[in-house]
Chain A
């Protein structure tokens, strides 16, 4: 029984990782850039939500929508300002620019007096509620996160697979020049992808807020999202959620059954195992160069 409860806890945490990983994979799938600032985007989403709740006095669901809108605009703007100039440079530059963005975001938020330096919490209407079934307990906040994770990943998967925009995004990630020649608005699409990814991050941030504390360093959870994306396959959207799930469960079990300290390295160990055994992850596609 306790085992199942632990697993449920792991699943809940896993979906948090999965939501953040979803944002990564989205950007990677569409632009082959890795956004090292994804965690910070989530942090910005949470703070945005906090601001809307505290200063505008909006109810929770309006806060969620508002954060999503604001972060989407921010994501689009970020792509415009930071990533377009890096177009065509080696991928190292894109990595550095997102690392820089992360530092900048973290620093700027911390500089906001009173607001950025403390930890805050955000209340949600479902905070504190639980669902009980057969002796097992799960918090409503977690249920909402799980629901959001499933919904978002299904929607985005459908977007990429079945809509013209999604296929256009995949085309852009394979060969930008060719995509341009067939009339795909590459720059606009890249901006859209970043906007989407930031929106997903905002959802993650606002949904996470009732559970965890909102503080400037909460973006470090992004470091855990990487292993999740790797496990699932860096170019697979459902994989991101699956990877997060697996990671969350393994962490929860490690935390309970293994000596202290293993929980923190569980993510790292799993990632290394996956990279050694199946580098393209569970759902990713293996690829090989043709010369």
Chain B
């Protein structure tokens, strides 16, 4: 058990709260830096995907977890970031510029999306985001002169940055650096007034307003930042996957992102990373498990879908706090051992009141 004796306000503000943080996260960082020498090329590849999805997950987490806005259209921002990056790289733009443009494009889309969508709440917002996602997907498919339409668009190697980021270890470090910076930016946001305003808007719009928070502007800011992060992930995604087509950015992908956020643990930065690990690892695990299953089940086309569905349902029923929530409970158990009380995390049954008047 660790007892924190606080003597300074800074201890509550800074990111590294105590020496335990420094040790474990330092270890994690060292491991991540050493990764290319430790694992196979294939696993490094997967690590890059995890990084990309973690960034996208952070973006979605900002709106869903912290501002309380359900978005089922985030794949659109991924697509906008990806296509902008691909198109500009093909025109010879250096990497830093093209990525900045991709992020800006996605953020602008986020603001545009925010204007109509954020005037409605709850399920209506979810539906608005589905609609917007569908429209973006259709634009990507129809605007053939620019995006190549349904035939797809191949992505050339990124230029600039000494040319080494095209190759695997270089791209891994690039993704790692961007993922770490994104995480730090989000953490900074969350410990500052804007981040608190997000939480206020999520929990009670009425009292947020009476405390001077401009609710519409806060939501739009959240959406724009979220879109920017997701667009950034999209730009990296374009270079990793090397070939884009509109069907990579449908509602299904948006649902996958939402699942990432939910399984990882809504409302925590760790959740975004854990969710990304889960999302990338799952198909691999299913592929491995297939060898152990009877061919009738293992070879079936719908297995992945069914497993996804079963897992989502399982998490909702048994661990709604997600992977990070489960980790917090385990850690708490270990810290408090043997004084852990079983009822600590028991869910309080709240009777449902209509949310129509929220």
Contact = CB atoms under 8 A, between A and B. Distances in A.
Interface string B85-120: 000000000000000000000000000000011011
Interface in A17-53: 28, 31-32, 34
A107 interface: yes
A97 B251 CA distance: 17
Given A82-B317, A107-B307, A272-B116, A230 B354 contact: no
Contacts of A275: 116-117, 119-120, 124, 127-128
Interface centre among B306, B351, B356 (most CB of A within 10 A): B356
5 contacts: A88-B351, A95-B70, A97-B312, A102-B309, A105-B309
B248 interface: no
A173 B131 CA distance: 27
A99 B258 CA distance: 10
B122 interface: yes
Given A92-B266, A107-B309, A261-B142, A279 B124 contact: yes
B40 to A, nearest CB: 30
Contacts of A137: none
Contact of A88 (B120, B305, B315, B352): B352
A97 B313 contact: yes
A110 B297 CA distance: 11
Contacts of B126: 34, 95
A56 interface: no
A165 interface: no
B198 to A, nearest CB: 16
B120 A279 contact: yes
B60 to A, nearest CB: 12
A164 interface: no
A8 interface: no
A94 to B, nearest CB: 8
Contacts, number: 176
Q: Is the interface of A mostly helix, strand, loop or mixed?
A: helix
B119 A82 contact: no
Contacts of B351: 87-88, 175-177, 180
B310 A100 contact: yes
Interface in B256-289: 258-259, 262, 266
B357 A287 contact: yes
A121 interface: no
Interface in B291-325: 296-297, 300-313, 315-317, 320
Contacts of A276: 116, 119
Interface centre among B131, B134, B251, B307 (most CB of A within 10 A): B131
B301 A110 contact: yes
A108 interface: yes
B302 A216 contact: yes
Nearest to A177: B351
Nearest to B301: A110
A227 B309 contact: no
Given A89-B316, A174-B353, A177-B353, 9 more contacts: A97-B316, A100-B310, A103-B305, A104-B310, A104-B313, A175-B354, A234-B123, A269-B131, A275-B120
A91 B355 contact: yes
A95 B134 CA distance: 19
A109 B305 CA distance: 10
A215 to B, nearest CB: 12
Contacts of B352: 31-32, 87-88, 176
Contact of B262 (A82, A96, A267): A96
Q: How large is the interface on B (under 10, 10 to 19, 20 to 34, 35 or more residues)?
A: 35 or more
Interface centre among A103, A223, A279 (most CB of B within 10 A): A103
A216 B350 CA distance: 37
Given A91-B122, A276-B119, A289-B206, A109 B316 contact: no
B309 A106 contact: yes
Contact of A106 (B131, B302, B355): B302
A290 B312 contact: no
B6 interface: no
B70 A32 contact: no
A272 B131 CA distance: 7
B132 interface: yes
Closest 4 CB pairs of A and B: A110-B302, A107-B306, A104-B309, A103-B309
Contacts of B2: none
Contacts of A28: 123
B266 A264 contact: no
B341 interface: no
A291 interface: yes
A101 interface: yes
Nearest to B352: A176
Nearest to B358: A289
B56 interface: no
B151 interface: no
Contact of B134 (A82, A235, A268, A287): A268
Nearest to B149: A261
A265 B70 contact: no
Interface stretch (A67-75, A111-119, A128-136, A195-203): A111-119
A290 B354 CA distance: 13
B206 to A, nearest CB: 5
